[in-house]
Amino acid sequence: MKVAGCDIGSTAGKAVILQDGIVLSSVIIPCTPNPIKTATLVMNKAIQEAGLSSMEEIDYTVGTGYGRLKIPFANENISEITCHGVGAYWLSPDIRTVIDIGGQDCKVIGLNDEGRVVDFVMNDKCAAGTGKFLEAMCRVLQLTLEDLSATSLKSKEPAQITNQCSVFIESEVITLLNEGREIPDVVAGIHQAIAGRLLSLVRKVGQLERITVSGGCAKNAGLTKILEEKLGSKMQLLSYDPQFLGALGAAVLASSKVK
């Protein structure tokens, strides 16, 4: 039995193919302007990587993400909130809180002992704290996304970022640089501001234990470290790339549908 999960987000398309609970392939590509094209491209690559010949060999496919309604080959579409929760619980059944830092929003998802979503909050009104926001900061600081993590860890005195709006934060960062603040301290300040925003979302859900982070920003060790300090709780590391959590959860749900 082969199933697939396809997650078309705001910045990347992801696909995971499972066979009897084993990952056959997982592929990520940048989003194209057309979600149908993105879904087709990423799934074709996943099929090829899995050693399959065509989509017809997939028994069931669940689509998720912002572009889920545009996935032409999906048998069913399920929200990314449910898929992230299922993916995290499948990897680590003791997880009770998932912080998802996506390309254009942030979510905190609370799970019960059975892995079901019992509560969630989302920040989709402002770009601050999202992947797009960090990309914008990289342009200002002339760093890559990979550089942000290592640079933040070198900070000795994080800068104070007072604004909440992404546009004003960018202006504040430029001002700090012009005042001579060290880049590591500015990056750490940006991470402090993001972590503070995420902390308020976590408190709304009411879960402070057994927490993990999903999305591409989960790979940012500098941000994760500061988030742990503010939460007073260690992040639980997942045994799989956190950027695939939505697609993985979709594939797990597809498997249950077939059963």
CATH architecture of 1-92+239-259: 2-Layer Sandwich (3.30)
Distance CA 1, CA 6 (A): 17
Give 213-258 pLDDT, tens digit per residue.
Answer: 998 888 888 888 888 988 888 889 888 999 999 999 999 999 999 8
Distance CA 168, CA 16 (A): 38
Neighbouring-strand partners of residue 76: 62
With 0-12 CB in 10 A as exposed, 13-18 as middle and 19+ as buried, what is 181? middle
The sign of the CA dihedral 181, 182, 183, 188 is negative
What is the DSSP code (8-state) at residue 103? S
Q: Mean of the pLDDT values across residues 66-85?
A: 96
Domain boundaries, the chain: 1-92+239-259, 95-237
Q: What does the DSSP assignment read for 180-248?
A: T--HHHHHHHHHHHHHHHHHHHHHHHT--SSEEEESGGGG-HHHHHHHHHHHTSPBPPPSS-GGGHHHH
| CATH no., domain 95-237 | 3.30.420.40
pTM exceeds 0.85: yes
CB of 197 closer than 8 Å to CB of 190: no
CA distances from 179 to 24, 135, 176, 231 (A): 52, 22, 5, 31
Asked if domains 1-92+239-259 and 95-237 share a fold, the reply is yes
Give 108-155 pLDDT, tens digit per residue.
Answer: 999 999 999 999 998 765 655 677 788 888 888 898 888 888 899 899
Q: Mean of the pLDDT values across residues 41-65?
A: 97
Distance CA 125, CA 107 (A): 12
Distance CA 249, CA 7 (A): 10
Q: Mean of the pLDDT values across residues 94-99?
A: 94
CB atoms within 10 A of CB 236: 17
Of the listed ranges 24-33, 40-49, 148-157, 247-256, the one predicted with least confidence:
148-157
